[in-house]
Structure 1
Amino acid sequence: MKLTDKTKQLIYGLALAACFLPMISPAMALLAGIGLSLIGIRLPNSQRYTPWLLQASIVLMGFGMNLSQAIQASQTGFVLTACSVIVTITLGLLLGKLLKVDTNTSWLIASGTAICGGSAIAAVAPVIDAKNHQTSFALLVVFVLNAVALILFPVLGHYFNLSQETFGFWSAIAIHDTSSVVGAGATYGPQALEVATAVKLTRALWIIPLSVAIALFKPAENRKKIKVPWFIALFVGAIVLGHFLPQWANTYQHFSWLGHRGMVVALLLIGSNISLAEAKQAGIRSFMLGILLWFFIASLSLWALNMGS
């Protein structure tokens, strides 16, 4: 049965409203959008607003970051975090070439794995002019692995008899998204949660130099197309404002919540614009890249932490 435009708009209206419910995760929204697209229900012209919504969400999420905790965590976890970011991105680009994954998707998966999952992908995507289907599949790969990590990491931590501090560092380095890092740390114990959250904040700040570096080091013939990543400056400004004007803490929490929910809405819209033809362009190779890269950084960081303890 062919649906009318009004029916499609009603379906999307309900779906967008559901994105503001706390039980709807980014992965669920992305998969829901893809599902609607695959059964032929699309929202016309939504791709026009998706980049802006992603960037605005990044800025708003900056209000939820604690600058003092990030600086404190950097004193102990900076070297390991820096090494993991650089090595992961380098290896991701090399593996992407070997697996014949397109360059933009490789950049997005590597950035999401190296830094902070969906937030890093959302920040990097407009800088490299990524297409919707490239962003969508990078996000899908990262969010699937996040869901696995949330369950698997605490089990592995107990199996390897990791201390809470070691597990906190490991989860912050090897799990992509902040929510999964916090969830895994909370499952393992209060000290693990504290360490994981602090180190994760340091890792998330790498969004800024990475996005700027990509913009600056594009090939000369493409520099005329470079879009100034204004949202990165605003992202930093949000963190700094929250630090120096703490009396507005309640307002910042609302902004941060809106940013997280805005990201969920954007993922629904991104998923809604993907097609089977585009799916075949990414396919199993994107997942292979994400899995291999994730396995490498998880193994290497665990080895490094055990060697340093």
Structure 2
Amino acid sequence: MPEPETSSRAQRLGRILPGVTLAVAIAVVASVIGAFAPIVGGPVAGIVLGVVFGSIRRPGPVLQPGVRFASRFVLQLSVVLLGAQLSLAQVARVGVESLPVMLGTLVICLVAAWLIGRALGIVGNLRTLIGVGTGICGASAIAAVTPVIGAVGVEVAYAVSTIFLFNVAAVIVFPLIGHALGMSQEAFGLFAGTAVNDTSSVVAAASTYGALAANHAVVVKLVRTLMIIPVCLGLAWVVGRRATADAPGRRVRVVRLVPWFLVGFVVVAAVNSLGLIPGGAHPALQAAAVFLITVALSAIGLSTDVAAFRVAGPRPLLLGGSLWVIVSAASLGLQAVTGLV
């Protein structure tokens, strides 16, 4: 007879397999679309296809366990793999001189998201997702923050879609701005790396300007990804404080405020910094991370209530546009102040 624990695992696998299989199938199609349209990318295509499929046929009881698993655990696992793209050597190459621009744009973006979001009457989680996605690294940052704050599918879908729209605008507009200002290759790489979100859009915008700009932009973008760590920790602390306030007798241990996947992200980044991950494995790990994000966002799309988009209205889009303009202007302004333009 099979062991009870083995039988339980087999049953759980059987419950989640149908939903996960559907999410993976959608992610495969989305990845093909992303390969032909890099500006769109697999993750954005995945969430759109998921929303369309879910609108036609909502996942029933057979699919729901797997869809929930993909939208949570797979999302968290994708964040761990993102750490394989970072190393202390890359941080050092970017140099201390570029950090004021990266940190400055992030702080300005988060403050602006809070102020403008409140003024527009946008609820906390959606405001946070758009702010973090714009300030750090688009879908990857949204993937990291979602389980920390407990955001729902429609909030994630709206945030990803909003940021994608302005990523496309940046790919078209930023090279024109760079040429108009006579920016050097390095300066434009810093501009693209700090003011464009998803890596594919950063590469697309910077490559148009020049190969050196593209190389510098990618390094800046990778270092910018490190900001996921303090932002997630800060949000975890805020969520923990709220939980304590709702239950005065409850104590929240500090260790529990640190998401497991964030620890995994740091550990993998440290292992990579020590040179224990071969350079030849980096492209495969990057592709795996992007695919897992695509799977997770496909699952989130499947469980998204499209009617909630109409309830949200155009205000989140207005917030995303405002933050895009503010971050772009802040990046150029901080470069001018620090003499990097």
- CA distances 1:76-129 after superposition (whole Å, capped 9, x unpaired): 211111111111101101111111111011111101111111111111111111
Q: Does 1:83 align with 2:104?
A: yes
TM-fit CA distance, 1:11: 7.2
Relative distance call for 1:126 and 1:280 in structure 2 (3 A) is same
Q: Is the 8 A contact 1:62 1:239 kept in 2?
A: yes
Q: 1:282 to 1:29 in 2, by over 3 A?
A: same
Is residue 150–residue 183 contact of structure 1 (8 Å, CA) maintained in 2?
Answer: yes
Question: 5+ residue gaps in structure 2?
Answer: 1-18, 36-40, 245-250
Query: Which residue in 1 is equivalent to 2:10?
Result: none
Task: Name the counterpart of 1:135.
Answer: 156
Whole-angstrom CA distance in 2 between matches of 1:168 and 1:275:
38
Q: What do residues 160-203 of structure 1 show as CA deviations (whole Å, max 9, x unaligned)?
A: 33221221111111111122112211221122112212221221
Q: What is the TM-score when the length of structure 1 is the normalising length? A: 0.89
SS of the equivalent of 1:218 reads helix
Distance 1:9 1:243 in 2: 33
Q: Taking structure 1 as reference, are residues 18 and 262 closer, same or farther at Cα in structure 2, changes over 3 Å only?
A: same
Counterpart residue number, 2:28: 17
Identity %: 30
8 A Cα contact 2:100 2:334, kept in partner: no
Q: Is 1:299 matched with 2:316? A: no
- Aligned equivalent of 2:129, options 108, 113, 138: 108
Q: How many residues align?
A: 303
Matches within 5 A, 1:253-264: 253-264=283-294
Matched, 1:35 2:29: no
Contact 1:84-1:301 within 8 A present in 2 as well: yes
The worse-fitting range, judged by mean Cα deviation, of 225-234 and 84-93 is: 225-234
**Alpha-carbon distance in structure 1 between the residues aligned to 2:273 and 2:21:** 41
CA distance in structure 1 between the partners assigned to 2:161 and 2:28 by the alignment: 21
Residue 213 in structure 1 maps to residue 234 in structure 2: yes
Could you tell me whether the CA contact under 8 Å between 2:23 and 2:298 is conserved in 1?
Answer: no
Pairwise mapping of residues 270-281 of structure 1 onto structure 2 (< 5 A)? Answer: 270-281=300-311
TM-score normalized with structure 2 length: 0.81
Considering only CA atoms, is the larger Rg found in Structure 1 or Structure 2? 2
Relative to structure 1, the CA distance from residue 250 to residue 95 in structure 2 (aligned partners, 3 Å threshold; closer, same or farther) is same
Q: How many Å apart are 1:10 and its aligned residue?
A: 8.9
1:290 aligned to which of 303, 320, 323: 320
Q: Is this contact kept in 2: 1:61–1:257, CA < 8 A?
A: no
Contact 1:27 1:144 in 2 (8 A): no
Tell me the CA shift for residue 59 of structure 1. Answer: 0.8
**Residue 175 of structure 1 corresponds to which residue in structure 2?**
196
Shift of residue 219, structure 1, vs aligned partner: 6.0
Query: CA 1:168–1:245 in structure 2 vs 1: closer, same or farther (change >3 Å)?
Result: closer
**Amino acid in the other structure paired with 1:104:** N
1:62 and 1:256 in contact (8 A); partners too = no
Structure 1's 247 and 237: CA in aligned 2 closer, same or farther, altered over 3 A?
A: closer
Report SS of the residue matched to 2:258: coil
Is contact 2:104–2:334 with CA below 8 Å preserved after alignment? Answer: no
Is the contact between residue 30 and residue 267 of structure 1 (CA under 8 Å) also seen in structure 2? yes
Query: Residues 247 and 59 (structure 1 numbering): CA distance in 2 closer, same or farther, change over 3 Å?
Result: closer
Return the alpha-carbon distance in structure 2 between the equivalents of residues 252 and 289 of structure 1.
Answer: 35
Which deviations, in whole Å up to 9, do the C-alpha atoms of 1:131-169 show, x marking residues without a partner?
121112111111221122222212222233322122111
CA RMSD of aligned residues (A): 2.4
What residue in structure 1 maps to residue 166 of structure 2?
145
Q: Distance in 1 between matches of 2:223 and 2:112?
A: 21
After alignment, is 191-200 or 40-49 more displaced? 40-49
How much has 1:249 moved relative to structure 2? 2.9
Gaps of 5+ in 1: 1-7
Q: Indicate conservation of the 8 Å contact 2:24/2:295, yes or no.
A: no
